[in-house]
């Protein structure tokens, strides 16, 4: 256990402190507190060696999650645009469906990373709200990726995988959960008042439009006159919302998060 814990530290750190640290760890029994403390210390060592100097681990650590979340949200927005626009243009044809699926899967992964980064930052002030709003889209993302993997593994999108549901159905359910969850995340972002409220509002409305658009298109529920408008709104608003949150996150990080710093107890 002790050697495993020490292995969590960077190699450069271990070269300097590893031997004496191992002796300190061996001086008394390791309880859960000690293990958690060492793991946090390992995380700190990794962040510290990336040039964070003597500054607050909280400040710089959260800057990193904000930066990662910001870039992922922008990338996710772009990929969602490609996937949604591609799907709308392709209109269900087999040809070209492959790259649309790839764009969609990449968008899901990017959105998951964005959710992790942005939630970690916002949760500092509103932990319960933000993590609850993170859970729904995160579960949706994981479910959709599972469905996609199941399709790829079975080679048959219609084959039943779990509970009579095919890989395609599972993936679709997951994407729906991700989109609905994005709306919840947008609501949490509006309440948290940390990132751009305009981008959050765009994401929230865009999530609703995407669900309406997908239901309307696949279920034929929308009047034909409205279908085009909903599809355009769906293709633009949802991706723009994510990209907007990403830009807001990067601006906040570059500004040095003065309002955030003041919130640290």
Residues lying near other proteins in the complex (CB under 8 A) are found at 13, 17, 19-21, 23-25, 27-28, 33-34, 36-42, 44-45, 48, 53-59
* Distance, first Cα to last Cα, the chain: 34
Question: What is the distance between the alpha carbons of residues 75 and 67, in angstroms, rounded to a whole number?
Answer: 12
Nearer to other proteins, 62 or 242 (CB): 62
- The CB-of-132 to other proteins minimum distance in angstroms stands at 25
The b-or-e profile of 15-50 (16+ CB within 10 A means b, else e) is eeeeeebeeebeeeeeeeeeeeebeebbeebebbee
Q: Regarding beta strands 165-166 and 160-162, do their DSSP bridges make them parallel or antiparallel, or are they unpaired?
A: antiparallel
Report the nearest approach of other proteins to the CB of residue 126 (Å). 20
Angle, in degrees to the nearest 10, between helices 167-192 and 197-219: 150
Q: Which is nearer to other proteins, 4 or 33 (CB)?
A: 33
Residue closer to other proteins (CB basis): 53 or 98: 53
In which residue are the tokens 């633009």 written?
236
- The pair of structure tokens assigned to 260 is 């955030």
Which residues are CB-contacts of 53 (< 8 A; sequence separation ≥ 6)?
Answer: none
Apex CA 69: angle with CA 64 and CA 75, to 5°? 130
Phi, psi of 95 (to 5 degrees): -65, 130
**Minimal distance in Å, beta carbon 63 to other proteins?**
12
Q: How far is the CB of 166 from other proteins (least distance, A)?
A: 47
Distance, CA of 169 to CA of 177 (rounded, Å)? 12
Nearer CB in complex with other proteins: 31/225: 31
For other proteins, the closer of residues 12 and 254 by Cβ is 12
Q: Which is nearer to other proteins, 40 or 153 (CB)?
A: 40
State the minimum distance, in angstroms, from the CB of residue 24 to other proteins: 4
Asked whether 185 and 203 are in contact (CB, 8 A), the reply is yes
CB of 117 to other proteins, least distance (A): 20
Nearer to other proteins among residue 17 and residue 168 (C-beta): 17
Give least dist CB 261 to other proteins, A: 11
């Amino acid at each position: 256990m002790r050697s495993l814990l020490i292995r969590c530290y960077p190699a450069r750190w271990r070269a300097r402190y590893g031997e004496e640290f191992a002796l300190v760890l061996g001086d008394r029994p390791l309880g859960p507190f000690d293990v958690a403390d060492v793991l946090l210390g390992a995380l700190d060592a990794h962040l510290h060696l990336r040039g964070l100097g003597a500054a607050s681990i909280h400040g710089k650590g959260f800057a990193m999650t904000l930066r990662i979340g910001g870039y992922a949200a922008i990338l996710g927005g772009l990929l969602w645009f490609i996937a949604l626009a591609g799907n709308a243009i392709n209109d269900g044809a087999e040809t070209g469906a492959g790259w649309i699926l790839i764009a969609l899967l990449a968008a899901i992964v990017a959105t998951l990373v964005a959710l992790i980064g942005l939630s970690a930052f916002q949760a500092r002030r509103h932990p319960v709200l933000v993590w609850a709003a993170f859970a729904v889209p995160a579960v949706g993302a994981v479910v959709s990726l599972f469905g996609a993997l199941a399709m790829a593994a079975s080679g048959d999108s219609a084959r039943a995988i779990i509970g009579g549901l095919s890989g395609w159905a599972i993936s679709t359910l997951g994407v729906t959960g991700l989109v609905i969850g994005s709306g919840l995340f947008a609501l949490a972002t509006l309440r948290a008042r940390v990132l751009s409220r305009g981008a959050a509002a765009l994401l929230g409305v865009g999530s609703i439009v995407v669900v309406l658009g997908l239901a309307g298109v696949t279920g034929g529920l929308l009047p034909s006159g409205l279908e085009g408008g909903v599809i355009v709104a769906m293709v633009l608003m949802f991706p723009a919302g994510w990209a907007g949150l990403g830009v807001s996150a990067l601006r906040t990080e570059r500004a040095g998060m003065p309002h955030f710093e003041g919130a640290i107890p």
